[in-house]
A and B are shown apart, each in its own frame.
Chain A
């Protein structure tokens, strides 16, 4: 194995500052001599910097809903676990946190101790308990209805809504303001159109009403605010044509 092959697996730990003085010195010394490994170390450091620069991604609301549901389901499942399994899971987490990995010898010893304990408990049970045929059979647990959704505990992590006087809230509210402004202009023009339509024939009125209904429907169906505003502008244009230029009468061949 070459020196490079020995050093490269240690580069990440070295850059993380996890190597002790001696191994760290070896890596440092090798990097002074080896351009290839030095380049790899630079790449690694640069990548670390780049990752650090990435701003946190704001999770979408749907993600929070999913997390909330999974948390609730996990808690319900946890509550239904036998007590010994919860204790075992806790010990397992503790063992992992302590980075304790049992050796084969330790495992064998533990197995022997456990077997002995089971034998003792079994013997004591046979002495103190009635014969097996007198033991009451366990009854199946009655089916419990699932807890109602609204009874689930609220998750601890809930993104707080932005303050109303904050820039973020203002940005969120802006499309609605613009849409409302366009809507007001539409209503103004509709009022003018009501006055203008007195001069129209019944056919003109019907054509106008049908066109307006179609354009309003387009506004309703438009999804994002920008699309809504685009549809509103189309309606405004049509209304302006109708009331200012008599386009309705022109379309039906009426006198100008």
Chain B
């Protein structure tokens, strides 16, 4: 086959994944370290290639380097070469230690860094149904990815792939898959795993989904949209619009500033130090715990489960806290007037109050004013307790 043919085929394969990738590529492929080499502990650097130069992972996530020979990464013909980048190099070893869900077998670690070409990375789209994802913001411009695959044997390990596609619109798409192949020996899903640790520019928005793995986003400034099945969600020190959905994974949001919309079906929701304009959170079966919440408009809803909220009332703020079948406990820091209305099996507003004919119990704290905050609490089949824990003017 001539060089021209090879270049054409390579360009075509890459162009299928991404038109901008239709460029001639070249790169070296150092062999991974296999067999008896013990895996490095998590978070450590992967070994450099044998010649000390940059290299790509030779397995699933591998891809030819770009023309300048510094970066690379399209696996399975679906990813485009990175415009520019630094080294990536996997190795393989024995069973990884220190990971609770890691089955015994072999593992492979790879690291990759891609730099934006002309335009900044503004969005990170991640789908990893095979393991954990951690995204950590930092002050750089590159996206740095560390992947760690686990499988019972090399054959199974070879079926695990990570694709990376940098798009011209500033989106970096990362997906993990397990190839079916032909005549492969069946491998249980619990026996394989891909964990991703990604460092991304702070001002990139993160859209990520995992299945049963843990999803963690830390130190980002442009919000996130996170989705899990049974995996937990953890968001810490994130600004912007944060959306989370989980079927049965514990969701924990800490130090989130902006707009929050969190929804779970059968798990608890933990909110700590939330600030901004809007907080909407709902669970179907599970509890909601909120502490240090300072949001103007709050809606917390549980079908079956208790709600505990410790919040600060904002001027003209509106707090709507409802549980169909569960107790509700609201403690409020007050700086101005607050009007509280509650209806439940038993209502305790902390001050003497009499139920109205329509079943609502109402009380006003502070001087009645047009900018008073309004608190509405419902629990048709539960008890309600409200308290002012710090009085203002």
Residues of A near any B CB (own CB < 8 A)? 11-12, 43-44, 46-58, 159-160, 162-163, 165-171, 174, 177-178, 181-182, 185, 188-189, 192, 226, 229, 233, 236-237, 240-241, 243-246, 255-256
Contacts and interface: CB of A to CB of B under 8 A. Distances in A.
Contact of A53 (B7, B56, B191, B245): B56
B161 A256 contact: no
B324 A167 contact: no
A145 B41 CA distance: 69
Contact of B247 (A48, A162, A178, A240): A178
B343 interface: yes
Given A171-B178, A174-B211, A174-B229, A182 B265 contact: yes
Interface residues of B, number: 69
Contact of B180 (A55, A58, A244): A58
Which secondary structure dominates chain A's binding surface? helix
A244 B303 contact: yes
B335 interface: no
Contacts of A229: 245
Given A43-B26, A171-B129, A50 B186 contact: no
A108 to B, nearest CB: 33
Interface in B294-349: 301-303, 320, 322-324, 341, 343
Nearest to A237: B282
Nearest to A168: B180
Interface in B77-103: 77-78
Contacts of A182: 247, 265
Contacts of A189: 284, 303
A56 B161 CA distance: 11
A240 B247 CA distance: 16
A58 B301 contact: no
B360 interface: yes
A55 B3 contact: no
B265 A243 contact: no
B178 A50 contact: no
B302 A244 contact: yes
Which secondary structure dominates chain B's binding surface? loop
Interface string B234-276: 0000000000010110000000000000010110000000000
A162 B180 CA distance: 6
A54 B189 contact: no
Given A167-B192, A174-B229, A53 B6 contact: no
A192 B60 CA distance: 49
Interface of B: 1-3, 6-7, 9-10, 13, 16, 24-29, 56, 58, 60, 62-65, 74-78, 129-130, 159, 161, 177-180, 182-184, 186-189, 191-192, 209, 211, 227, 229, 245, 247-248, 263, 265-266, 282, 284, 301-303, 320, 322-324, 341, 343, 358, 360, 378, 380
A182 B248 CA distance: 11
Given A55-B77, A192-B324, A168 B10 contact: no
Nearest to B13: A54
B263 A244 contact: no
User: Closest 3 CB pairs between A and B?
Assistant: A50-B64, A46-B26, A166-B186
A11 B189 CA distance: 46
Contacts of A178: 229, 247
A43 B25 CA distance: 9
Contacts of B74: 54
B263 A233 contact: yes
Q: Which of A56, A167, A243 has the most CB of B within 10 A?
A: A167
Contacts of B62: 53
B211 A51 contact: no
B137 to A, nearest CB: 25
A246 B341 CA distance: 14
B161 A55 contact: yes
Q: Which of B76, B227, B284, B380 has the most CB of A within 10 A?
A: B284
Nearest to B16: A57
A47 B76 contact: no
Contacts of B341: 256
Contacts of B322: 244-245
Contacts of B179: 55, 58, 168
B178 A168 contact: yes
B64 A53 contact: yes
A210 to B, nearest CB: 22
B187 A167 contact: yes
B64 A244 contact: no
Nearest to A11: B3
A240 B282 contact: yes
B327 to A, nearest CB: 14
B101 to A, nearest CB: 14
B360 A57 contact: no
A57 B63 CA distance: 13
Contact of B27 (A44, A46, A55): A46
A181 B230 CA distance: 11
Contact of B343 (A56, A160, A236, A256): A256
Given A54-B76, A56-B76, A256-B358, 7 more contacts: A54-B77, A163-B186, A165-B188, A167-B192, A189-B284, A236-B265, A244-B324
Contacts of B29: 49-50, 52-53
B27 A244 contact: no
B178 A181 contact: no
A167 B189 contact: yes
A57 B76 contact: yes
